[in-house]
Structure 1
Amino acid sequence: MQLTDAQRVDWLRLIRTDGVGPRTFRGLINRFGGAGPALDALPDLTAARGRRITPPTRGEAEAEIAAAARLGVRLTAMGEADYPKPLQATDSAPPLLAIRGETAAFRRPSVAIVGSRNASAAGLAFTERLARALGEAGLVVVSGLARGIDARAHRAALATGTVAVLAGGQDRIYPAHHAGLVDEILGAGGAVVAEMPMGWEPRGRDFPRRNRIISGLALGSVVVEAARRSGSLITARFALEQGREVFAVPGSPLDPRAEGTNDLIRQGATLVAEPDHVLLVLALLVVDDGTASPLAVDRPDLADEPIFWDEIDLDGIALSVPAEGLAEATPTGLGEAVDDRARLIAYLSPTPMGTDELARASGLSVRVVQTTLLELELDGRIERHGSGAVSLIGQ
């Protein structure tokens, strides 16, 4: 899929609307067939729920796109070639991702390395050794640009490839003194990504939002040092919920910075004492496009996810769009998605089937099957089983 300029403006207006997060965005696209029709319907739809919401104007969206372009930032949509495929496979992936730098990093397998801001010297030394070795083995290192472990991981992987995920807008680097590190990452051929608008100063709950993107970009997440209640453990939780690997570096029981990592190991995370402990696990997951093979994990109920957005409640609203209006309003590529959805549903049944089997039976590409299954899962139409198999729920 490739959005036109007009469609990109519509997508940006919709995701920047109060009450619209990734889940509501997908629900509106599915109901109306595109962002344009959803924008037209949204004020009356929300008024019927007792709270009339008006999307940002076209001029406001165009101004944000222009400001991003001046900084060399591209707003890339899910489904477009440069959107990171591992992130796209997650339940709460941003519909639009602000990307600065080289997108070649997204076509290689990645590993996240996160940890304490107030890291120990031993933790920093191990992080440097680990990030350098994983980078030399062909993995891109993803982290959150924070002080301590994150910054050391980025610097150790500059020569081999690293991606930084921001909690605020692309023009609001946090912490501010890491602006130079951002320049180093971009100068070395890495990338910096953000979900939030230009000019957005990061707030408390923006950091967990960022953490789900860090884990979503990677095959697995390594936690080097983390206190018992820390943001790094949130990243580990997201990695587990996204079906990714979780690794932890053990530490002294006398060091509070090791309490979280030691707990992760006790709960089943892979212990990491040398780079090979990560490489041997991830080597089994890497396929040609750098994404993870299906993992036999229990996927979380979306209702149990953390509340990041005050999203509009669309449950119980029966909507219909005239067929002729839908055909005119559907962006290029999304009309085909409606047909792909119907075709795939025809091949689904209460008997679990694998993604490859569904692709062969339906004649759709594996990428289209995976994307469509994600939409069906968000609608509560399918159930996931071990080894990537899915089955239809009801009719």
Structure 2
Amino acid sequence: MTGNGVDWIALGLITAECPRIIPRLLSFFPDPADALRSTPEEFGRLGLAESQFKDILSGALLERADEETGLLRSMGGRAVGLGEPDYPALLKHIPDPPLALYCLGDPGAWNEPVVGIVGARKPSPYGRAVAENLARELAGRGLVVASGLAEGIDTRAHVGAMETGRTIAVLGTGLDTCYPRQNRRLAEKIAATGALITEFPFGSEPRGKHFPQRNRLISGLSLALVVVEASLKSGSLITAGLALEQNREVLAVPGAITSTLSSGTNALIQAGAKPVTRWQDVVEELPGSLRNMALESERCGPAEAAPRSGEEKRVWGCLGAGGPVHIDELASRADVPLPDLLAVLLDMELRGLVRQSPGKYYTRSL
């Protein structure tokens, strides 16, 4: 594809709110400059309604595109058009790639190996622990973690990834709007080490339809997508469906059959998604060279593989040399409520501190 950045931004000002016309536009106008100087008759032959192309024919689009690039420069960001060399390689091949991407941070992050992690906005302690630890382990082995900056699983995935590596947050707003507001500081940290990206121009507020659009970018950037917790009607299942349409690997974290938060992930597993119980399950689905690199790397040193919180230290102390301890007895000995204990044990298991045996018995693994 050809075309300069400003032309792609200009055309993207239209398609950001109507991505379904992207495939037809690209098939008819591989160069955005051709679309910007086209005629109503040509757009009519393409099958577009007048409301979809009248703004494309307006010279004001290029003026707006110049304004967008000026705003980007003022905040230290940049835009990359679909036909430019820095455009994400994987994203280029989805059916409806955004014509322009706005980026704050390092655009190089999106051309490193990316794994997406998504899930519920109001997760359980179990879900939060899984997301954070999975992201920490994957990022520490050279993979970039992509998510959507939402509350819950997205937030924990970003936080975990930044402890050991980099993360990409894909926004459903313009770069000048942080949603949710409480994640503003998190967004600043992500931009400092990874990247904030969006297809939406400045001034774009959070709208309901923006988030399914954003989700196709999370999956499109990723080699594999992991769903941590999701109900049957969750937006995360929409993302999983998009990932399958884009020929991405879809994995899911199993959960209790009594939990609504796990009904969606358990359904994905029933439908054929690979279950994830450790970071290696994700890495094993990556292309050969990446898989070998990540599996052979060892992130955790002795200092990292030690109990951290007071709860972890109590659990560690209860798992002495006396053999496996049942989870109910462990909850009583360590004085930790069972739901919290499950999250603590999962965290410790992911870090290689404890090992689970059949029947919910636990022992030290070090």
Structure-2-length-normalised TM-score: 0.72
**1:50–1:238: structure 2 CA closer, same or farther, 3 Å change rule?**
closer
Query: SS at 2:104's partner residue?
Result: strand
The answer as to whether partners of 1:215 and 1:239 remain within 8 angstroms in 2 is yes
Write the deviation string for residues 314-353 of structure 1: whole angstroms up to 9, x where unpaired.
xxxxxxxxxxxxxxxxxxxxxxxxxxxxxxxxxxxxxxxx
**1:46–1:19: structure 2 CA closer, same or farther, 3 Å change rule?**
farther
The answer as to whether partners of 2:212 and 2:239 remain within 8 angstroms in 1 is yes
The answer as to whether partners of 2:72 and 2:78 remain within 8 angstroms in 1 is yes
Cα distance in 1 for partners of 2:276, 2:243 equals 16
The answer as to whether partners of 2:16 and 2:200 remain within 8 angstroms in 1 is no
The answer as to whether partners of 1:111 and 1:220 remain within 8 angstroms in 2 is yes
- Please point out which of 180, 185, 191 is paired with 1:186: 191
1:304 aligned partner: none
Structure-1-length-normalised TM-score: 0.67
When the two chains are superposed, the root-mean-square deviation of aligned CA atoms in Å is 2.5
- Please point out which of 9, 34, 41 is paired with 2:31: 34
The answer as to whether partners of 1:9 and 1:62 remain within 8 angstroms in 2 is yes
Write the deviation string for residues 56-110 of structure 1: whole angstroms up to 9, x where unpaired.
5122221122112212221101232321111112111111111111123223211
The answer as to whether partners of 2:150 and 2:179 remain within 8 angstroms in 1 is yes
1:325 aligned partner: none
| Cα offset, 1:54, TM superposition | 3.0
| Cα offset, 1:249, TM superposition | 0.5
Matches within 5 A, 1:286-305: 286=290
1:54 aligned partner: 55
Q: Which runs of 5+ in 1 are unaligned?
A: 291-395
Cα distance in 2 for partners of 1:9, 1:197 equals 13
1:84 aligned partner: 88
The answer as to whether partners of 2:5 and 2:84 remain within 8 angstroms in 1 is no
Is 1:233–2:237 an aligned residue pair?
Answer: yes
1:195 aligned partner: 199
| Cα offset, 1:47, TM superposition | 7.0
**More RCO (CA 8 Å, sep 6+):** 1
2:212 aligned partner: 208
**1:60–1:281: structure 2 CA closer, same or farther, 3 Å change rule?**
closer
Matches within 5 A, 1:217-228: 217-228=221-232
The answer as to whether partners of 1:128 and 1:156 remain within 8 angstroms in 2 is yes
Cα distance in 1 for partners of 2:251, 2:216 equals 16
- Please point out which of 248, 258, 267 is paired with 1:244: 248
Write the deviation string for residues 125-160 of structure 1: whole angstroms up to 9, x where unpaired.
111111111111221100000001100000111131
The answer as to whether partners of 2:2 and 2:31 remain within 8 angstroms in 1 is no
Query: SS at 1:38's partner residue?
Result: helix
Pick the structure with greater CA Rg: 2
- Please point out which of 4, 7, 32 is paired with 1:10: 7
Cα distance in 2 for partners of 1:23, 1:50 equals 13
2:182 aligned partner: 177
Cα distance in 2 for partners of 1:36, 1:125 equals 48
Query: SS at 1:199's partner residue?
Result: coil
Query: SS at 2:116's partner residue?
Result: strand
| Cα offset, 1:33, TM superposition | 5.5
* Amino acid aligned to 2:92: Q
**1:108–1:143: structure 2 CA closer, same or farther, 3 Å change rule?**
same
| Cα offset, 1:283, TM superposition | 4.7
| Cα offset, 1:27, TM superposition | 3.9
The answer as to whether partners of 2:283 and 2:291 remain within 8 angstroms in 1 is no
Cα distance in 1 for partners of 2:285, 2:247 equals 14
Worse-superposed segment, 82-91 or 14-23: 14-23
Query: SS at 2:67's partner residue?
Result: helix
| Cα offset, 1:46, TM superposition | 4.8
| Cα offset, 1:50, TM superposition | 6.6
Q: In percent, how many aligned pairs have the same letter?
A: 41
| Cα offset, 1:19, TM superposition | 9.6
The answer as to whether partners of 1:42 and 1:54 remain within 8 angstroms in 2 is no
Is 1:281–2:285 an aligned residue pair?
Answer: yes
Count of aligned positions: 285
Cα distance in 1 for partners of 2:88, 2:115 equals 13
Query: SS at 2:288's partner residue?
Result: coil
The answer as to whether partners of 1:145 and 1:174 remain within 8 angstroms in 2 is yes
Matches within 5 A, 1:61-72: 61-72=65-76
* Amino acid aligned to 2:169: A
Matches within 5 A, 1:310-389: none
Write the deviation string for residues 269-323 of structure 1: whole angstroms up to 9, x where unpaired.
00011111111222537499x9xxxxxxxxxxxxxxxxxxxxxxxxxxxxxxxxx
Cα distance in 1 for partners of 2:5, 2:98 equals 14
Cα distance in 1 for partners of 2:194, 2:15 equals 32
**1:232–1:19: structure 2 CA closer, same or farther, 3 Å change rule?**
closer
2:265 aligned partner: 261
